[in-house]
Structure 1
Amino acid sequence: MSLLTLIFSTGADKAVARQAFFGSLVFETVEKDNGALAISAGVENPAPLIVLFLVLTAVLTMIQAIYRGLKQRRERLLNASSS
């Protein structure tokens, strides 16, 4: 999403270099000799992306463990109340 914001926030008439997400994503436009613009986009520093992936994985794993624990507790309570 950040890269799309960078792409559409650049002007068409000048050369720019912009970064997003703590410098991990880069979008550059460079004016060529014939007046055309060369566009490049990519990953410059993958460390913030790796940290984001690890944090999201940890959070989703915790949510899944909590959900399973609550589901098992519900089943135990239902079994206890029916007997």
Structure 2
Amino acid sequence: MFSTGSDEIVERKAFFGSMVFETEKKDNGALGMTTGVDNPVPLIVLFLVLTIVLTVIQTIYRGLKQRREQLLDESGR
């Protein structure tokens, strides 16, 4: 991702083009790198999907925990 084969500017995109990594050779011989967000849509979609999945998991967990308590109460513990 960060490797360059020559002294020219190299631009790499990651995560469906949403993140950009750019390397360039500086005047003093050092290698400079800049990063940025080119297209925020994939990042927003990922955030929404993860939020939905974690909410569903939490809801299922609470339902199962409540059902367990109900069964324990019915059995007389």
Structure 1 residues 10-29: aligned runs within 5 Å: 10-11=3-4, 13-14=6-7, 15-29=9-23
- 2:4 maps to a residue whose letter is G
- 1:11 maps to a residue whose letter is T
SS in 1 for 2:35: strand
**Which TM-score applies when normalising by structure 2?**
0.84
Runs of 4+ deviating beyond 6 Å: none
Gaps of 5+ in 2: none
2:40 equivalent in structure 1: 46
1:81 equivalent in structure 2: 75
**Which TM-score applies when normalising by structure 1?**
0.79
Identical-residue share of aligned pairs (%): 64
For 1:23 and 1:64, the matched residues in 2 are separated by 31
Query: How far 1:11 moved relative to its partner?
Result: 2.7
Q: Give the RMSD, CA atoms, in angstroms.
A: 1.9
Q: Deviations over 1:14-67 (max 9, x none)?
A: 331100000011100123455443321111111100000000000000000000
Give 1 or 2: higher helix fraction.
Answer: 1
Gaps of 5+ in 1: 1-5
Give the aligned length.
Answer: 76
1:55 equivalent in structure 2: 49
